[in-house]
Amino acid sequence: MHKYNIAVIGVGAVGEEMLRVLRQRYFPINQLKVFARSSRTMVVDGQSYPVEALRENSFDGIEIALFAGTEGEKGAAVTFAPHAIRAGCIVIDNGADFRMRPDVPLVVPEANASDVKKHHGIIANPNCSTIQMVVALAPIKKKAGLRRIIVATYQAVSGSGRGGVVQVEEEFRAWADQSGREVPCHMDQRIAFNLFPHIGSFNEEGYTTEEMKLVHETHKIFHDNKIKITATVVRVPVRTGHSEAVYLETVQPIAPQKVRQLLKKSPGVTVLDDPPNKVYPMPIDAEGKDDVFVGRIRRDPAVKNGLWLWVVSDNLRKGAATNAVQIAEELIKQKLV
């Protein structure tokens, strides 16, 4: 088997998870380099990785570069992707900077793997909440079509980075020890014993950037701007694992039992759907796993072709690192690298 020279750029929560996923999926690596703003050593699951300071010439000999990316600010890929491409490297970027560029494919392998062929050096990884939703909806769209999607997300604090995890843990500790000390807010509001409908910045119509990502990215991945999509996103005091209440109207009628059968056969999906026996997806089920978990599949009794799904996934795994690595696997599978 041919092995490849791989770089991971970023040592935050997603970069760490990328290293873990590469190892766990036995990615065929010849040489692995890790880059960040400054040199150091990082340890993931007991394994040490030397981290080099990222420079313009860091990509010589690298075939695939996984940029861990940032949300809400310009990521490293904006500065360094052109240098990587000139060095003959294919960039897979987890940040938001390139997702909606018409010349950059936005890929979820279970939904639009063939789009990797369209790359011109960069492939974008979608937003975490978009990824899990389209994995669950792609088989339904293929079978019955999609007319409308209404989604409410319940997003874990790890989606805001390590600072969000620290904030919720420290807030709970401050409550438990009754110290009364104030905990600095990494997120927009206090999160312990709380939730808030605010991720990203608000536009003139009152929607956040995170909500509009669900709209625009889903349209691009499905190659269908006619699907009516609207969203509300909520930050909740869960460490890892995003949950989504997804309402959809299909073009053709499809029974809930047919949807269950369809999803059970779909790659990357695990169906947990036996509510009377308390079987339904929860974030603790998804943490550390790569699948998208679907349950509470039910018909809308008031609307023809209306269905509800409850969708849960690990936002650091399938919502970021795993999907990026799967894109790299598709490049190999399709002999594009």
- In the numeric block, the tokens 């299909």 are attached to 250
d(CA 137, CA 218): 10
Backbone angles phi, psi at 114, to 5 degrees: -65, -20
Domain ranges, ordered by start, for the chain:
4-125+320-333, 130-315
Contact 35, 9 (CB under 8 A): yes
**Long-range CB contacts (within 8 A, 24+) of 296-304:** 297/256, 297/259, 297/260, 297/263, 297/271, 297/273, 298/256, 299/255, 299/256, 300/247, 303/249, 304/253
DSSP-derived pairing of the beta strands 47-53 and 29-36: parallel
pLDDT (tens, 9 = 90+) of the chain, 337 residues, equals 899 999 999 999 999 999 999 999 999 999 999 999 999 999 999 999 999 999 999 999 999 999 998 655 578 999 999 999 999 999 999 999 999 999 999 999 999 999 999 999 999 999 999 999 999 999 999 999 999 999 999 999 999 988 999 999 999 999 999 888 889 999 999 999 999 999 999 999 999 999 999 999 999 999 999 999 999 999 999 999 999 999 999 999 999 999 999 999 999 999 999 999 999 999 999 999 999 999 999 999 999 999 999 999 999 999 999 999 999 999 999 999 9
Q: Is 247 helix (H, G, I), strand (E, B) or coil?
A: strand
d(CA 231, CA 212): 8
Closest by CA position to 158, among listed 70, 67, 233, 239: 239
Please identify which of the residues 2, 119, 128, 223 carries the catalytic annotation.
128
186 is known as an active-site residue: no
Residue 278 amino acid letter: K
Whole-structure pTM value: 0.95
* End-to-end CA separation in angstroms for the chain: 13
128 is known as an active-site residue: yes
What does the buried/exposed string (b/e) look like for 324-334 if buried means 16 or more CB atoms within 10 Å of the residue's CB?
Answer: bbbbbbbbbee
Tell me which CATH homologous superfamily contains domain 4-125+320-333: NAD(P)-binding Rossmann-like Domain (3.40.50.720)
* CA 76 to mean position of chain CA atoms: 18
Tell me which CATH homologous superfamily contains domain 130-315: Dihydrodipicolinate Reductase; domain 2 (3.30.360.10)
Return the sign of the alpha-carbon dihedral for residues 223, 228, 234, 238. negative
CA atoms within 13 A on the CB side of 266: 27
pLDDT value, residue 70: 64
- DSSP assignment string, 211-238: HHHHHHHHHHHHT-TTSEEEEEEEE-S-
d(CA 269, CA 285): 13
Closest by CA position to 78, among listed 88, 93, 61: 93
Contact 127, 217 (CB under 8 A): yes
Helices vs. strands in the chain: H and E counts, helices first: 9, 13
Helix (H) or strand (E) holding 111: helix 109-112
Beta bridge partner(s), residue 247? 150, 308
Return the sign of the alpha-carbon dihedral for residues 78, 79, 80, 85. positive
DSSP-derived pairing of the beta strands 90-93 and 64-67: parallel
